[in-house]
């Protein structure tokens, strides 16, 4: 269990680190947009698998609500896309970083309370549900960004890793 909890913490920390392009407003490929979302989804899956409380109904509702909220949040993003180089950048946002930080806090909570404090879970599966909600939010947000918002955005010639030019 310790290795699984540690893997969830490391994956969520990697997801948080790999979202730095959102804060710095740098142009990035689809792969680097998907990388933090995939890492967060893997961390949430680990949290669900190792959860002592098996509450699939709670988890399904959490995933559905998180995905719906993420779809709505993706509509609020204002992307700029270079269609030739397949690069996308967005104006500085904090919601994805905040959600990923929340997932890291959930994973750390599971690690500390279960492995270091030895606290017994009450079997409600809440931490797994919260982790699933947060990861589903990121999946929904990325889905809307890549499939709806970015294709309708303005075209701007960009270089990968380049910061957004202020006009």
Whether 103 and 12 have beta carbons less than 8 Å apart is answered as yes
- Backbone phi, then psi, for 161, in 5-degree steps? 85, 0
- Tell me the three state secondary structure of residue 1: coil
d(Cα 24, Cα 61) in Å, to the nearest integer? 33
Could you give the maximum distance between any two Cα atoms of the chain, in Å?
A: 55
Per-residue model confidence as pLDDT tens for the chain (167 residues)? 789 889 999 999 999 999 988 888 888 888 999 999 999 999 999 998 887 777 888 889 999 999 999 999 999 888 888 877 888 888 888 899 999 999 999 999 988 887 777 766 666 678 889 999 999 999 999 999 888 877 777 766 666 766 655 54
Task: Give this prediction's pTM.
Answer: 0.88
Can you spell out the DSSP letters for 27-67? Answer: -EEHHHHHHHHHHHHHHHHHHHHT-SS--HHHHHHHHHHHH
Taking the domains of the chain in order of start, what are their residue ranges?
A: 2-155
């Amino acid at each position: 269990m310790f290795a699984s909890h540690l893997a969830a913490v490391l994956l969520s920390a990697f997801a948080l680190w790999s979202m730095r392009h959102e804060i710095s407003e740098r142009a990035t490929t689809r792969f680097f947009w998907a990388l933090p979302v995939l890492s967060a989804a893997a961390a949430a899956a680990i949290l669900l698998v190792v959860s002592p409380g098996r509450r699939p109904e709670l988890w399904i509702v959490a995933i559905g609500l998180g995905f719906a909220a993420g779809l709505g949040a993706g509509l609020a993003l204002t992307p700029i896309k270079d269609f030739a180089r397949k690069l996308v950048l967005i104006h500085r946002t904090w919601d994805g970083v905040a959600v990923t930080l929340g997932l890291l806090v959930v994973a750390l909570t599971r690690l500390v309370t279960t492995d270091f404090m030895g606290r017994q879970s009450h079997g409600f599966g809440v931490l797994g549900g919260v982790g699933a909600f947060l990861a589903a939010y990121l999946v929904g947000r990325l889905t809307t960004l890549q499939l709806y918002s970015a294709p309708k955005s303005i075209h701007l010639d960009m270089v990968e890793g380049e910061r957004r030019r202020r006009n």
